[in-house]
Structure 1
Amino acid sequence: MTPLVFIDGDQGTTGLQVLQWLAGRSDLRLLQLPPAHRKSAAHRAEALNDCDVALLCLPDDAAREAVALVRRPGVRIIDASSAHRTAPGWVYGLPELDAAQPARIAGAARVSNPGCYPTGAVALLKPLVDAGLLPADYPLAIHAVSGYSGRGRAGLEDHEGAAADTAVPFQVYGLGLNHKHVPEIQQHAGLAHPPVFVPAYGHYRQGIVLTIALHLRLLPAGVTAARLHAALQARYAGQTFIELQPLADDADAQRLDPRALNGSNRLRLAVFGQERTGQVLLTAVFDNLGKGAAGAAVQNLDLMLGLSVEPQGEPGSSRPESGLLQPA
């Protein structure tokens, strides 16, 4: 029988994008509540227990409440919130984490979608830690800039409509160094200590540039930018949604546009090196509402249902821009 999928929170930005990616597909059915029933715990509980897969596009507390409403053992859950990303019993929903991760996701009853920032950070760091090129106790600092959609409703209110002309163009936040994504990055990248994580918002709607600087003198002897690049290339060879830029001789002429992959489920990684100073810069570009949210959720859904249909969308394609945005 065609599997039945219920999106709890289908009017938020992630939920709306998931709906658009799934529109027109005949290999699954969508269970949707009428507007009058969306906030009814009884109707939501009924839907959560009637479906084959529940996809939670909710704030953390609401996601925990939704999980508690699921009573039927056969219901499988994908949680797009950060509530369960380091929780025991939940499979981390980054299929490219290692060679066995797609099978783990495919067989899981509970899958936690990765956070937007951790998607880029873990994708860059874990292959290097696994290969012994980056010590697990390296003193890492991760910098990332996201579009204001990562702020949720407050981002829309501060950057769109009448507020657009007076919006602050750039804001660094998380200055208490306790951002909720740090434990997720540490655990899934295999780090011995929490990295310093410095996030920021820019005056554009969506898209992320994430950077991690390394000093070769602090890495094992013989590690070079080329070896780091080769390790990433080996890990992601043949991957549908992760691409690695070639090592560039003209790095000074290059620019990273955080919006380059908007509307897609793709993640673009790169390694830039300066031989004179022994410095390396690891970078990731992706859509915080695509590979960082809805696209990843659909990718995990397809794995869990044994379907091969890839998430739709190409850079620059339109996506729903109304509804409640959930904080990154």
Structure 2
Amino acid sequence: MTHKIFIDGAAGTTGLEIAERLAGRSEFSLITLDEARRKDAAARREALNAADFVILCLPDDAAREAVAMIDNDRTRVIDASTAHRVAPGWVYGLPEVSGHDKVAAAMRVSNPGCYSTGFIALLAPLVSQGLLPADWPYICHAVSGYSGGGKALIERFETDGDIAWRGYALGLGHKHVPEMQERCGLSLPPLFAPAVIPAHRGMIVEIPLPLAAMTGAATADAMRSALAAHYEGSPLVEIGETPDSGELLLRVSDAGDDRLTLFVFANADGSQARLAARLDNLGKGASGACVQNLNIMAGLDETAGLRL
């Protein structure tokens, strides 16, 4: 069976990478609109309703508008925007945490944010198992390649070679915070400190843990074991070992892939730990996750077309 796919917003970075992963796959046929019709409301409505699966790679308001244009009960949607990540009736598209069965049965799936993927993958299993408290004021530091910021930020980094580090969301209102809080079951929003570095892609998400001050917190070894058990058998999520070099690196030359690697580091006496996730912001953090969810929803091997 061939499924008809429409990528609304196919000209953006996420949409282009999704199309690359779907290229040459006989299970799917792409509905495409030329430049003249891409922003025509009537043409978009026709494409949205003709598709078996729609993938939205749009700003939030445009994503909501696109969903409202679908007037049948057959078209299934994966939304890569922030618009529906905590919305009722939408399944959160991190199947390793939300459940593969829920994603497979869903009509509406919200693709996770890139930073959120690392944060939730680390913290949600540990909080749900009682190994870390739900009422702790968690802090999350993260760095990402500039490709996640859209065309304007890509152009800025690629034309201004003097930028070494870009901290942002200084008002502490980053759009990923609501999903980070809700999907981990936290009573307090995490303090999130993101930054962009002069690399096209790649991402590190880190959660420092002062274990000695956290009542009821598990040991680092227990957390590592729990994460390994939770993700056992996952083709995309792995638990990494502490590097012999004592360094966790992102390289400017990294080509990117669709995997997610989780780490638990600790000091010698176990009083402090650092949870860390390494992923490609355009892979498991965006386009790769969309294709994984599409595969699951279509009843296919979840890794088909992915870069592993």
Once the two structures are superposed, the pairs formed by residues 167-316 of structure 1 within 5 Å of their partners are 168-221=163-216, 223-246=218-241, 248=242, 250=244, 253-257=246-250, 262-276=255-269, 278-308=271-301, 310-312=303-305, 314=307
Matches of 2:217 and 2:142 in 1, distance apart? 28
Q: Following TM superposition, by how much is the alpha carbon of 1:175 offset from its aligned partner in structure 2, in angstroms? A: 1.2
Do the aligned partners of 2:106 and 2:297 also contact (CA within 8 Å) in 1? yes
Structure 1, unaligned runs of 5 or more: 316-328
Matches of 2:306 and 2:254 in 1, distance apart? 10
Do the aligned partners of 1:139 and 1:195 also contact (CA within 8 Å) in 2? yes
Q: Residue in 2 aligned with 1:106?
A: 104
Amino acid paired to 1:11? A
Q: Following TM superposition, by how much is the alpha carbon of 1:66 offset from its aligned partner in structure 2, in angstroms? A: 0.4
**Partner SS, residue 275 of structure 1:** coil
Alpha carbons of structure 1 residues 300 and 196: separation in structure 2 relative to 1, 3 Å: same
Do the aligned partners of 2:51 and 2:75 also contact (CA within 8 Å) in 1? yes
Amino acid paired to 1:189? C
**More displaced 10-residue stretch of structure 1: 68-77 or 1-10:** 1-10
Is 1:155 aligned to 2:153, yes or no? yes
**Could you tell me which of 125, 128, 146 is aligned with 2:126?**
128
**Partner SS, residue 166 of structure 2:** strand
Alpha carbons of structure 1 residues 309 and 213: separation in structure 2 relative to 1, 3 Å: closer
Structure 2, unaligned runs of 5 or more: none
Q: Residue deviations 1:97-137, cap 9 Å, x none?
A: 15xx1110111110000000000000000011011110001
RMSD: 1.8
Alpha carbons of structure 1 residues 10 and 221: separation in structure 2 relative to 1, 3 Å: closer
Do the aligned partners of 2:143 and 2:204 also contact (CA within 8 Å) in 1? yes
Q: Following TM superposition, by how much is the alpha carbon of 1:255 offset from its aligned partner in structure 2, in angstroms? A: 2.5
**Partner SS, residue 196 of structure 2:** strand
Alpha carbons of structure 1 residues 77 and 288: separation in structure 2 relative to 1, 3 Å: same
Aligned-pair identity in percent equals 50
Matches of 1:61 and 1:102 in 2, distance apart? 28
Matches of 1:121 and 1:296 in 2, distance apart? 15
Matches of 2:26 and 2:275 in 1, distance apart? 40
Q: Residue in 2 aligned with 1:323?
A: none
Matches of 2:26 and 2:258 in 1, distance apart? 21
**Partner SS, residue 36 of structure 1:** coil
Q: Residue in 2 aligned with 1:28?
A: 28
**More displaced 10-residue stretch of structure 1: 182-191 or 254-263:** 254-263
Is 1:51 aligned to 2:47, yes or no? no
Amino acid paired to 1:225? A
**Partner SS, residue 37 of structure 1:** coil
Do the aligned partners of 1:133 and 1:220 also contact (CA within 8 Å) in 2? no
**Partner SS, residue 281 of structure 1:** strand
Matches of 2:40 and 2:181 in 1, distance apart? 37
Q: Residue deviations 1:22-62, cap 9 Å, x none?
A: 00001121111122211111000000001111111111111
Q: Following TM superposition, by how much is the alpha carbon of 1:151 offset from its aligned partner in structure 2, in angstroms? A: 2.0
Higher RCO, Cα 8 Å, sep 6+: 1
Do the aligned partners of 1:244 and 1:270 also contact (CA within 8 Å) in 2? yes
Q: Residue in 2 aligned with 1:325?
A: none
Do the aligned partners of 1:93 and 1:300 also contact (CA within 8 Å) in 2? yes
Matches of 2:273 and 2:252 in 1, distance apart? 23
Q: Residue in 2 aligned with 1:91?
A: 91
Matches of 2:220 and 2:73 in 1, distance apart? 48
Q: Residue deviations 1:285-306, cap 9 Å, x none?
A: 1011110100000000011110
Q: Following TM superposition, by how much is the alpha carbon of 1:313 offset from its aligned partner in structure 2, in angstroms? A: 5.1
Amino acid paired to 1:20? E
- Between the two proteins, the alignment pairs up a number of residues equal to 308
Amino acid paired to 2:149? R
Alpha carbons of structure 1 residues 199 and 220: separation in structure 2 relative to 1, 3 Å: same
Amino acid paired to 1:116? C
Amino acid paired to 2:154? L
Q: Following TM superposition, by how much is the alpha carbon of 1:236 offset from its aligned partner in structure 2, in angstroms? A: 0.5
